């Protein structure tokens, strides 16, 4: 998806992200006895830490997949796989901040078939790949995560639409 296809922004503060990741933990609690978490880096690191704390999980690993370059998505590149899983991948929890086009989700599903895939935010194109999510946003929305933003003057919506 190119930068030109994002027509809206959805800023998320640290407090909102924490609240939404905790809501994800509430949805995941009691579904099964999780054996560990695999966070998809980099965006899944913060939500995975919150979910791990809330579900009292101590076994955490990462999968590193590069698909984004600022606001454009490209071909998925696996940088690091996970060592978790074992025989029963159904007890493994994969956590990411967002499923967008589903490119990363398809790679993760192939690497860890049977694992439970959970994201804080989901867009329509990637939503079928996710087992659990908290908030759906439109496909043409760029989510502005707190680690990617700074405080600055914000233009009113009407003014930004005149440009």
Q: Which CATH number is 110's domain given?
A: 3.40.50.2020
pLDDT tens track of the chain, all 163 residues? 444 488 999 999 999 999 999 999 999 999 989 999 999 999 999 999 999 999 999 999 999 988 865 555 568 888 898 888 676 788 999 999 999 999 999 999 999 999 999 999 999 999 999 999 999 999 999 999 999 988 888 888 888 777 6
* Residue 110 falls in the annotated catalytic set: no
Annotated catalytic residue: which of 20, 61, 88, 97? 97
Residue 1 lies in a domain: no
Q: Rounded distance, CA 58 to CA 71, Å?
A: 33
Residue 163 lies in a domain: no
Sign of the Cα pseudo-torsion (107, 93, 26, 14, in order): negative
Note the pLDDT of residue 85.
66
Total domains, the chain: 1
Note the pLDDT of residue 1.
42
Provide the domain limits for residue 135: 17-149
Residue 156 lies in a domain: no
Residue 86 lies in a domain: yes
Annotated catalytic residue: which of 61, 96, 131, 140? 96
Residue 7 lies in a domain: no
* Residue 131 falls in the annotated catalytic set: no
* Residue 100 falls in the annotated catalytic set: yes
CB 65, CB 78: distance < 8 Å: yes
Residue 117 lies in a domain: yes
Annotated catalytic residue: which of 20, 56, 88, 100? 100
Residue 34 lies in a domain: yes
Note the pLDDT of residue 3.
46
CB 43, CB 99: distance < 8 Å: no
Residue 45 lies in a domain: yes
């Amino acid at each position: 998806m190119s930068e030109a296809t994002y027509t809206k922004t959805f800023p998320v503060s640290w407090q909102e992200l924490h609240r939404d990741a905790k809501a994800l933990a509430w949805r995941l609690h009691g579904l099964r006895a999780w054996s560990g978490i695999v966070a998809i880096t980099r965006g899944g690191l913060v939500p995975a830490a919150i979910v791990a704390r809330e579900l009292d999980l101590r076994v955490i690993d990462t999968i590193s997949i590069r698909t984004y370059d600022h606001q454009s998505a490209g071909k998925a590149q696996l940088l690091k796989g996970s060592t978790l899983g074992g025989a029963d991948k159904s007890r493994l929890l994969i956590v990411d901040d967002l499923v967008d086009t589903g490119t990363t989700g398809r790679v993760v599903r192939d690497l860890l078939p049977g694992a439970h895939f959970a994201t804080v935010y989901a867009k329509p194109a990637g939503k079928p790949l996710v087992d659990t999510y908290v908030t759906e946003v439109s496909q043409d929305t760029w989510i502005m995560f707190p680690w990617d933003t700074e405080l600055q003057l914000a233009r009113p919506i009407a003014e930004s639409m005149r440009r």
